[in-house]
């Protein structure tokens, strides 16, 4: 849909001309699809008009044709096909693509596109094949088990979409050649140990030196492994069970 697409201006990982994100540049021209993550058009049924490819994400998107003539894009969940009906409502059925507040979703239901702040729009579980599960309920919160294994508290008024995000086989896809990655706008990544010491903390040394006794660092010198989470992060009190620790975190 022409009204839902705009040309995506490339910034190549720069802010105000200064490089802030490495390994970005080039790539094919893209259109930015405007997606409806809020699902705030309540109690109006929409038909799936098409399931389309989106170059800006690994999941496919579905075009909603509302009965009042409006059109919107949403993430396409697994099992949704052209001609199906979806709706955003607190009394909607548990069919893939329907959007409900977490207070209305039964325990054990698969969900995606979860809001952290009610009304802000979905921020979690939006990648291809991702799904979270409603784990339980507390007095003032709904417990959700995220794909990482973390169990987290959410506001019951926060919305979520039923089902698993589509394009489940994306993780099995093979890129095949370097040129395809370049067309995605991703430039080559050089290992830190292969650089000179002025460019990376891991650089320098004779021959294949490796990281050695140095604590692994980012190219800016910050710690790259271990406990890097902020001590006073706002969401800490909302986390019931942390995700499984990575290899480096278990060693520390």
Spell out the domain ranges in the chain.
Answer: 2-169, 190-252
Q: Is the pLDDT of residue 29 over 80?
A: yes
Summarize pLDDT for 164-178 with one digit per residue, the tens: 999 999 999 999 999
Q: Into which CATH architecture does domain 2-169 fall?
A: Roll (2.30)
Is the full-model pTM beyond 0.85?
yes
Count CB neighbours of 139 within 10 A: 4
CATH 1.10.260.40: does it fit domain 190-252? Answer: no
Residue 36 has pLDDT above 50, yes or no: yes
Do 190-252 and 2-169 have the same topology in CATH?
no
Q: Contact 67/44 with Cβ under 8 angstroms?
A: yes
Mean pLDDT for the chain? 92
Mean pLDDT of 59-83: 95
Q: Give the separation between CA 85 and CA 80, rounded to whole angstroms.
A: 9
Higher pLDDT, 64 or 243: 64
64 falls in which pLDDT band (50, 70, 90)? very high
Task: Report d(CA 175, CA 134) in Å as an integer.
Answer: 34
Indicate if the pLDDT at residue 250 is higher than 70. Answer: no
More confident residue, 214 or 145: 145
CA distance 159 to 125: 12
Average pLDDT over residues 114-133: 96
Q: Which stretch of 125-139, 166-180, 237-251 has the lowest confidence by average pLDDT?
A: 237-251
> pLDDT band at 248, cuts 50/70/90?
very low
């Amino acid at each position: 849909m022409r009204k839902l697409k705009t040309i995506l201006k490339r910034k190549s990982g720069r802010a105000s001309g200064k490089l802030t994100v490495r390994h970005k540049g080039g790539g094919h021209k893209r259109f930015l699809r405007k997606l409806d993550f809020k699902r705030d058009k309540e109690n109006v049924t929409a038909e799936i008009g098409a399931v389309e490819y989106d170059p800006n994400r690994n999941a496919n998107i579905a075009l909603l044709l509302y009965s009042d003539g409006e059109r919107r894009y949403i993430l396409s969940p697994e099992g949704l096909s052209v001609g199906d009906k979806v709706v955003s409502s607190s009394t909607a059925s548990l069919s893939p693509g329907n959007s409900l507040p977490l207070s209305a979703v039964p325990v054990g239901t698969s969900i995606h596109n979860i809001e952290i702040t009610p009304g802000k729009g979905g921020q979690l579980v939006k990648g291809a094949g991702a799904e979270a599960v409603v784990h339980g309920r507390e007095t003032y919160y709904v417990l959700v088990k995220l794909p990482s294994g973390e169990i987290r508290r959410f506001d019951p008024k926060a919305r979520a979409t039923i089902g698993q995000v589509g394009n489940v086989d994306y993780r099995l896809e093979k890129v095949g050649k370097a040129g395809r990655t370049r067309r995605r706008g991703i430039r080559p990544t050089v290992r830190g140990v292969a650089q000179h010491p002025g460019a990376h903390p891991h650089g320098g040394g004779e021959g294949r030196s490796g990281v050695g006794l140095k604590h692994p660092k980012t190219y800016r010198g910050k710690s790259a492994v271990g406990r890097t989470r902020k001590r006073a992060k706002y969401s800490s009190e909302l986390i019931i069970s942390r995700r499984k620790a990575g290899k480096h975190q278990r060693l520390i």
